Structure 1
């Protein structure tokens, strides 16, 4: 243990010992190689952004939304290199929470942990709401029926219903799969990711036949301010980078596996985002994106004059968003596991099922939380909340690189960020800049969430922390 009081830190050696079960506590099984871990990153990212966020961002940025995707890809690239160094050096569950516990201190780590809980919980809720939209569209295209509005819209939607039943069903399916264990979940996710990439490739090819250069004029109707306004919702989709690191304790040969998985996932995601954005904007006028549900499927129907390609894409979207929701719920359970093991949450959160070697209690708790949120809150109220959590995680990870280089130069680093310290500093500055684009009302909601976190820390976390117990 290092530091004192609210800034006491858990040693990296102790974290790694815990991840191996050497302290007598629960630990997770190292069962993932490069490919399934990379598919976790892709699975948690592609689906939310490309299937849903176009209707949120194109009205802001116009065709210049392509630049928005590129900018986010560059910023995420800077952060990905930081993730690769830290996650391979501290290969444990908990992602940015654990890294903050090792580098900054207990209270900042606790706050980061609650940001991640908000990020993953709301992300899973948002994607399940979006999944419900595509599922309804698929039912309409194939069978000519739609789920009644009362059962497909949350009570807090602008046009309220009673409950978003499809979203709840999706969360329940994810719960069943995750209870079977990480290895089975990773295998199912990899299959779904391959299907979604194939479907998006089909979209790019088919949409190219409707490509019209005139759709790119005016290119940036709101100028750079419009491009910047589209950044926060897109950042929401890059949660996949953090999802890779939440599996750090379940990666085989983490020094080699984690950096390759994170960088590989980033390259795949950015390439597909830009290709699909160019194809979509080229095939449909920017003004048509606003308020459009299942937008990519609509584009294919308009281009081909047939419902068949749109049905194929809707099937791909239903499968795709299933994997996004699955991995984001998975990430949430591992954050809770790490915080429970450190005594920042009740001990039950650190328990592992003896058969599946998975924190199954966390799965149930997370799915109940996500299901309640998804059943009542509309998708447009959720985007920016997730962006705050993602930005917080990115900033902490980048700062951790700098802190550990100064405080623990002796650590064995399987991967090192190039151009240090320029790249970590550039990542922090870029993320802070994007944070200024998040609407003020979102910051008020996040502030309320963190006030609750501080109350719980004072009432429970500070006294039950393993660092406090060890000190006694």
Structure 2
């Protein structure tokens, strides 16, 4: 009985699944589309939203170091993801990789963890999208009622507060709209993403270029604020905690790997798109955090639209840039919501095909060839989270889920090199075991730096997952039935 919990899928079985068309998904994505999907997911809340929150609450101007530390951990994990993506070109990302290396129970744990990651990531970005839309409308004298434009709850260092609002309507609206687009088809989704990625990269470069001349060096003093005596509140512990909080901003390459069954040449293109998107986005993240903390004092940055605030503070010299930045940011955040919604639906799709979730999640639309049931259910719960929860709480939950997924993938490479040393690898993680061991270690250290409340919420989430697994998934597991 215990042994059954760790039943694995062989590489041969996974390769057969990848080469068959029984899943009903169409292969439309080339290298450029995959790379833009990665950039579309990565350049979003990390730059446009959580940079300010993490600077004010944790690291101050040293948030730059937090981004560099997170990027280092992501590079290590990204190299491990690249090997898996080339070997196992199936939707499901770390969930599928865990099935091949650690068995079904761990695959369930990481799959359920990925649901947490994508659900709250999308909701986080939707709240940020709402903040920028409200800021943009205010420039034209249009104001939504406060009761319909913010979260009913607020969460800060003092705990929970009731805001008096009813729901964050703009956040709900964008999730519903993009859910509908995902149902229509992957080709339409990719076209929309490609356009918005170009727009937001241009916007980020404009902000960095013109913001440099409006930096006030005194805003960088002290560059590393003195720790207040509380772990994670400034000082070096704040840098470490900040890196954990913003870590979820790098999950774009994770989302790329969930589209394996829609890639034309996954064994070649997935590793390249993962590493390309990570490189481009790291450079832009560091540049934006440098300029942002130089333009506005870090103590004032805990807002839903920090870049919009910086532009407004720039005075007449930057006033012309304000609508461009805000439109570009709104478009950019839209693509992040789109890609992370896409990622979650493909995780559900893979788990349902393995029998671990209900069959409806594995059904594809007869006309659009998309997993429409999983898309609609995902959209509903994401909209609910975005409508009622504050951005800081959502971001912390995403980070711990992302870090756990990355750590498991790094460990999985060590296992696969031991159990399948001669398996063909289109891409090989360099310097094994150094890279995967260090990658897992960096992820675990950042997890330990996160607030204890975040750990408690992860434990509760996992407890709910175990109820579903032992109540349904274990009884309907396709792998278990195959081995009877």
TM-score range, shorter chain: over 0.9
1:396 aligns with 2:395: no
Aligned to 1:11: 10
The alignment partner of 2:144 has SS state of: coil
Aligned to 1:161: 165
Aligned to 1:29: 26
Aligned to 1:296: 307
| Contact kept? 1:298, 1:310, Cα under 8 Å | no
| Contact kept? 1:96, 1:112, Cα under 8 Å | yes
1:189 aligns with 2:193: yes
Query: How far apart are 1:346 and its partner, in Å?
Result: 1.2
Query: How far apart are 1:165 and its partner, in Å?
Result: 0.9
Aligned to 1:148: 145
CA distance in 2, matches of 1:331, 1:411: 27
Aligned to 2:45: 48
Aligned to 1:318: 330
The alignment partner of 1:41 has SS state of: helix
Matches within 5 A, 1:94-109: 94-109=92-107
Query: How far apart are 1:335 and its partner, in Å?
Result: 0.2
Query: How far apart are 1:238 and its partner, in Å?
Result: 1.2
Matches within 5 A, 1:202-221: 202-221=206-225
CA distance in 1, matches of 2:366, 2:53: 44
Q: How big is each residue's C-alpha offset from its partner over 1:159-194, in whole Å with a ceiling of 9 and x where there is no partner?
A: 131111111110111112101211221121111011
| Contact kept? 1:21, 1:27, Cα under 8 Å | no
The alignment partner of 1:92 has SS state of: coil
Q: Which runs of 5+ in 1 are unaligned?
A: none
Matches within 5 A, 1:29-428: 29-59=26-56, 60-141=58-139, 143-157=140-154, 158=161, 159-222=163-226, 223-289=235-301, 291-305=302-316, 307-428=319-440
Q: How big is each residue's C-alpha offset from its partner over 1:228-252, in whole Å with a ceiling of 9 and x where there is no partner?
A: 1211221021111210111112112
Query: How far apart are 1:337 and its partner, in Å?
Result: 0.4
TM-score (norm 2): 0.94
| Contact kept? 2:52, 2:298, Cα under 8 Å | no
Q: CA RMSD in A?
A: 1.4
- Segment drifting more, 97-106 vs 155-164: 155-164
TM-score (norm 1): 0.96
Query: How far apart are 1:295 and its partner, in Å?
Result: 1.4
| Contact kept? 2:253, 2:273, Cα under 8 Å | no
The alignment partner of 1:179 has SS state of: helix
Query: How far apart are 1:156 and its partner, in Å?
Result: 2.6
1:446 aligns with 2:458: yes
